[in-house]
Structure 1
Amino acid sequence: MARTTMRRMTRIALALGAAMTAGAGAWALTAPHDASSGAPGRPVVLELFQSQGCSSCPPANANLNAIADRPDVLALSFGVTYWDQLGWKDTFAQPAFTDRQRAYARGLAAQLGTPQMVVEGREDLIGTNAREVDAALRRARPAMDATVTLAAGRVEIGAGRAPKAGADVWLVRYDPRVRQVAIQRGENNGKTLPHRDVVRELTRLGGWNGAPVRFAAPAAKEPALRTAVLVQGKDGGPILAAARF
């Protein structure tokens, strides 16, 4: 418990410092991504791991909200469960999302804590500094090692280059609407926090070894949810291909 608290306090201190830096410049995440740096039509995948019960998360959440409509970015917000004991249980959090962040922590040799943004499964940052987020998006070189299609309830991954250990195919369902969450306890007590692109479903469809493969795609539990498909190296590896529908 003491070690977890120390890690959390370290991340909070770093996040507060980054937030102060970001606030001084009133920077907006509106600069266009250089499309020539990645595959045509392939958005950069940015994942935010946050908790409604974390007082240092709102600036990172605001930065994700600011880029949610950018066509060159697939922004996904994952609620984690390990701060639920602080007095407020995150209304969007799922253990599977916590497991995903833990896999990234191992793969990137990163500290587990919130907030954390992961870009393309290759780089992580706190995410409270808008300039740093924009710089990370510009550095990203999104791979498209296979085609990804979704039609008639089937996800198809084409032939391409796969790691020796293979890859996972993930079906992501997320809510693009602004969801206002009134926090009634914990560190953010009394605040109403807007959330966008909140992941509601994360399903591993199966593996991919470079050969064409097809999976049945379960129907979304809510009609308003949008769909994305990620082809990713195992155990929190880099994003190899992605598409949103």
Structure 2
Amino acid sequence: MTMKHIFSTLLVAAQLAGFSTVATSMEMKTNPKAVLELFTSQGCSSCPPADEALRQWGEQDDLITIAYHVDYWNYIGWKDVFSAPKYSKLQRDYAKSFGAGRVYTPQLIVNGKGDAVGSRRTDVEQLVEDAQLDVQVDLAVADGNLTIDLTSDGAESVDATIWVIPYISRAETDIRRGENEGKKLTYSFIARNRLPVGMWHGEAQHQLELPLRDILVDGADGMAVLVQTKRDGGPGPILGAASIQK
């Protein structure tokens, strides 16, 4: 076993121990009205106001917020330290499902149904105003495992994927090149992965259990759980969501 492997094992163990220790005092959201997914980049000069707006929305009990850092602005001089091609692909998949011809930052999508420029708070809040999620998602952490419980009226047969998105709740980055050169910027709810962990077909009750060691990666101290349908082969409406965070 290499020293790197030993360090990684100890790091994961420490994260799990932290989650187990504070399980009863975690911040948990289990009945939100909306999920706000922001597509952003450290290389985009228009993004910092949207990043700050997302932080503030994330403080509301009825909103779950996730920031996906795309990689297609990296070529202009600064590589976003949180970016990944899979988040750019997710955004393109959303564009395809919306019938849109392009992607942009900062784009904010509400409940997988509608989008707005993430820095235009009034436009986003109009989308949120009448939003609702009909599937109840409850989370519990015990003995190093995450339990996800879904509850609905069971009246409709659906095909939905259960996604787990581990995230970093807050981080600061000194931007040394690109459009935001010289700025020290704060980011919130930064996605570190997007894991499909199961399917839900509309049952009135559905439960699954997952080991936290397979979820907590790259410094994540929280996670969101989404129940999401597909639309034209891409991501569709979100039916339910919950989050848990240290």
> Which range, TM-score by smaller chain?
0.7 to 0.9
Task: Indicate whether 1:72 and 2:68 are aligned.
Answer: no
Query: Are residues 1:230 and 2:223 paired?
Result: no
Instruction: Give the AA of the match of 1:232.
Output: Q
Aligned match of 1:190 in 174, 182, 189?
A: 182
Residue 162 of structure 1 contacts residue 209 of structure 1 at CA under 8 Å; is this kept in 2? no
Mapped to 2, the partners of 1:68 and 1:145 lie a distance apart of 20
Alignment pair present for 1:216 and 2:206: no
1:69 is paired with a residue whose SS is coil
Aligned positions of 1:27-42 closer than 5 A:
41-42=31-32
Aligned residue pairs total 204
4+ residue runs of structure 1 moved beyond 6 angstroms?
162-165
Q: Which of 83, 93, 105 is matched with 1:93 structurally? A: 83
**Cα deviation code 1:153-207 (max 9, x no counterpart):** 2443436459866111100111222x22111111111112111111122211122
**Partner residue of 1:170?**
163
Map of 1:34 onto structure 2? none
Distance in 2 of aligned mates of 1:192 and 1:221: 24
Match of 1:51 in 2: 41
CA deviation map 1:24-47 (0-9, x unaligned): xxxxxxxxxxxxxxxx82241001
Partner residue in 1 for 2:195: 203
Is the 2:139–2:149 contact (alpha carbons within 8 Å) kept by the matching residues of 1? yes
The residue type equivalent to 2:83 in the other structure is A
> What amino acid does structure 2 have at the position aligned with 1:197?
F
SS where residue 118 of structure 2 aligns? coil
SS in 2 for 1:176: strand
Shift of residue 224, structure 1, vs aligned partner: 5.6
TM-score by length of 1: 0.75
The residue that corresponds to 2:111 in the other structure is: 120
1:108/1:124 contact within 8 Å kept: no
Give the TM-score normalised by the residue count of structure 2: 0.74
Which structure exhibits the higher relative contact order, with contacts defined as CA atoms closer than 8 Å and separated by 6 or more residues? 2
Give secondary structure in 1 for the equivalent of 2:81. coil
Aligned partner of 1:129 in structure 2 is 120
Query: 2:103 aligns to what SS in structure 1?
Result: coil
Displacement after TM superposition at 1:145 (Å): 2.8
**Structure 2 unmatched ranges of 5 or more:** 1-29
